[in-house]
């Protein structure tokens, strides 16, 4: 893994082939209900074993989560999205919530002298929000100690993902989640194309792109 510049973690849930009705009435298999959380734990263990401390140049890390993860973020959602997320995507959001808590536990708490408002991870869900079934205590005990620097991590929280063509930069909004109501209001913010999400992430790894590089150290919402 020498010379590795960045890692993108975008593991997610496969939509139910039987449709929404079956998905609502039948529990997801245990093997897939925590795939995001458990997959990230595995990745972090590998990175920790290879990069024992931040002096070993650990790669930048992008984690793809979801808009509305955590109680504070959920309250920022437009009303229609709250209904969709709470009724149709409740299990998926619980897994993403546990995943973000896992990530937050592996971030180095920067000293006051090194800290800036740009790099303070201030919008992660609280561990108390995670249900024991989604993130049992034995899983928390197996996490590596904090080793990731917040300025080297970006949590991308897209709105509902579509399979449409990319609209391109300038046609979608990029907002820190706790600033949605201030910067974006209630207009739109319902969906975004997977291609646009991929384009944003690719631009994050361009060291000469000042527009996207400012989002490192943040949890950022992407939506039209």
Per-residue pLDDT of the chain (224 residues; tens, 9 = 90+): 566 889 999 998 875 544 444 334 444 444 468 899 999 999 999 999 888 755 567 799 999 999 988 888 888 787 888 888 888 888 888 999 999 999 998 988 765 445 554 454 556 787 788 877 666 655 667 788 888 888 899 999 999 999 999 999 989 999 887 666 655 555 678 899 999 999 999 999 998 988 888 899 888 999 98
**What's the mean per-residue pLDDT of the chain?**
80
- The pLDDT score that the predictor gives to residue 22 is 39
Task: Look at strands 173-176 and 219-223 and give their pairing.
Answer: antiparallel
- The pLDDT score that the predictor gives to residue 133 is 67
**Beta strand segments in 93-218, E:** 153-158, 160-162, 173-176, 191-193
In the chain the domains, ranked by start, together with CATH numbers, are 6-223 (3.40.50)
**Please, which residues bridge with residue 156 across strands?**
64, 220
3-state secondary structure of 146: coil
d(CA 134, CA 116): 32
């Amino acid at each position: 893994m020498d010379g590795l510049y960045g890692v993108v973690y975008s593991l997610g849930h496969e939509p139910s082939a039987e449709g929404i009705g079956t998905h609502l009435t039948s529990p997801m298999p245990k093997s897939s209900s925590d795939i995001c959380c458990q997959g990230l734990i595995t990745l972090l263990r590998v990175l920790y074993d290879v990069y024992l401390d931040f002096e070993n140049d650990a790669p930048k890390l992008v984690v793809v989560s979801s808009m509305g993860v955590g109680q504070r973020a959920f309250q920022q959602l437009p009303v229609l999205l709250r209904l969709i997320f709470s009724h149709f995507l409740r299990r998926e959001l619980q897994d993403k919530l546990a995943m973000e808590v896992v990530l937050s536990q592996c971030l180095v708490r920067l000293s006051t002298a090194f800290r800036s408002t740009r790099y303070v991870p201030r919008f992660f869900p609280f561990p108390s929000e995670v249900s024991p079934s989604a993130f049992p205590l034995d899983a928390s005990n197996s996490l590596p100690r904090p080793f990731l620097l917040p300025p080297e991590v970006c949590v991308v929280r897209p709105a509902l993902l579509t399979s449409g063509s990319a609209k391109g930069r300038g046609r979608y909004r990029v907002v820190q989640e706790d600033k949605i109501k201030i910067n974006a209001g209630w207009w739109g913010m319902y969906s975004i194309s997977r291609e646009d999400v991929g384009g944003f992430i690719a631009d994050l790894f361009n060291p000469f792109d000042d527009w996207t590089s400012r989002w490192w150290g943040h949890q950022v919402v992407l939506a039209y």
